[in-house]
Structure 1
């Protein structure tokens, strides 16, 4: 069999055109506006949230529907003048004790950090003593202080007295409560202040000393402002404890919120539970107000220490609403 010239015939048969693999061309990606981001599914988080919501709903249902709480009597007592008078005493005692306790705590902390061994020993003994004695014992002791010392005098030790005071006239119920709480608060506040001062980097002390600044200026303008970032949250805890500790002034015949509730509960024994709820809610309101002030004070002293200040609750609300609107627009486009 002859072959045509110029035409080469292979021994094997050629594959069909359909069997030759073609290169895969990737599909063009969708534009970013058309792409939908799927969030990561977290079933454990949703289950935990559902359980917590069920528990909260059960507790709320029990508080609202249980007739034992007598919410009608709660509304009756909540803004009664006698309750508000007790609230005013609570605020007054707290304000005086907080200011005096903080000032005393600063002085004691400086004494603890002083190079004078006598000051260190005396301030250490003060802190040890008043942190060891229960507050109720201190208040009762001060309330009966006039039995030990009828008069107080100021003069030369073991010598003549220049001024003499009648202790019974000075030691009113309010004075006893403020002095007792202030002495106790100063002991705890001193450790808070001392810890805050020690938290300031040692280089700050050395830099201030290298500039030749007076000791007082170093403390008030360099060291203490930086220490306040550490002092504020810890002292606010002390302040909240002080608000609750004012309930003990009932033992020195001073009727604060709790003392008023105790007195009215003995007069109206059927309203003991709603009266206790009244005191509880007022304490919650006071501590919540202190927590709000704490947030803004911490935010103020965070300037220069953080790149961005923590957002306020209003800013968080605006950001959340903006995120919801943006998500709604994205879903509408899809």
Structure 2
């Protein structure tokens, strides 16, 4: 006779399992929650009872007994942003090789949504959580993140941040950092090497750790050179292509003085290039431009986008290794970055003057 599998339901099942296994309901709860020591004999009885109730032992039953689901949660701002593709590829490779399934959550850059997803992933008893990209530098958000990390750790789940620093109170948080300060510093110095001193800096969202660090690197380069960064213009977007397009067009039409643009992400740089070309400007003859990240499409641009390469693939691999416990210690220092000169940065225009009001609305 073939028995029809019966799914395990929450309230009635504990008593049913306890009766079939010949143990107390408290023992069953301890086995399922994995938060108290239980003898091997009792654990085996509970596992056998679950097997008999379900007949075909499914993934849910195994997860209940082992307190593992085989799932790794990945939280990021925007799944459509190519900045994340190489990191996700590396994470997928590591997790796939270790029998783990990825669940991807997109926050659209909202810190409250990010914290909410961490709570949801906790409730699903995932094995680990990896959060990609920059985060909010707000003290309250940082404190909430530290509390979530502590709660995950108590439940045997690792939280790994990839591309941002760990919260000051985040003893339970592992972080794979990248040197965003040096990335912007190198990009700025590259523009300076071609004589550019009036630079339009297109940053990311205000309050973002990545935005903060890249703006700091931009200003640090001016301090090193003994030049005043006050002669430059700083504006903020959201790292998107549309933001790059809108901001570049706004400043050209508004008569802002600049000879070069430093976009805080390649995606913004690509949007800015589209805006400049649509207004009849030549790159780099009329204006120079550089981005940061070296996303895959940067090398497909014509001319090739000048940028600063972040080790995105390595970041993902290290984060996955930490999340799965394959590596125990996070890198002690932020990962290094490297300049990719490209072809979108050139000398000052022949006049040596900043672009100002040359394009009529």
Which structure's CA Rg is the greater one? 1
Point out the structure with the larger strand share.
2
